[in-house]
Structure 1
Amino acid sequence: MTENQAVISHEKHYQHGNVVSYIVGFVLSVILTVIAFYIVISHSLSLMATGIALGILATLQIIVQSSLFLHVSLMPSKRVDLISFLFSVFVALVIVFGTLFVMHNVGHFMMSR
């Protein structure tokens, strides 16, 4: 296999983004960030509505980042990438919520003395 064939084989197997997808991802990320910033700064929504809006915007931001920059998709050829990404999210959630659980219990039991 020549070097050119190896590069073509690599490009077929790993679909990297092009400049347009990176620019679209960057613009969408900036727009979502500015919207979230405006919602918080303007105090135009109630506290509950602000939390819900920020949760929705954060979810959209995750979708934009993972699809346009990390190239995670539901295609069968990208299944390993998706499983790795979901496992990483799971580990991060276990660490965050485990830490919160431990800190809550430490505070609860230390204050009871």
Structure 2
Amino acid sequence: MEQHVIVNEKTIKEQIIKLNEIIKNNKLSKLSNELEKILFNELKAGNEIREISVGGFGDEKHLYIFLNKTFITKIVKNYNNIKYIEINDPHYWKAEYTDIKNKQTIACPF
């Protein structure tokens, strides 16, 4: 698993630029529109990206975006192609939005 800590990137613009560099360098799919909307709303609400990882859990092309805080915005469970899951496992994280088709996950801690 390739990890990128980007907590030093404080502005939304800086975080998105870093995320797009990681996506490009790893030849991953661009964030789906739904996940992009979720991520932007979280960042706009004051959350920050803590870490971005590529690979892991048996899939070397899966993109994981880990936030600093639990989800701030209202949880939406009916996005097209996006699955919201409450993991609630202290070894992993509290909850996630996952785009299974594009292998992308936004996760939040406890």
TM range (shorter): under 0.3
Q: Structure 2 length as normaliser, TM-score?
A: 0.24
Q: Structure 1 length as normaliser, TM-score?
A: 0.23
- From the two aligned structures, give the one with the greater helix fraction: 1
State the structure with more CA Rg: 1
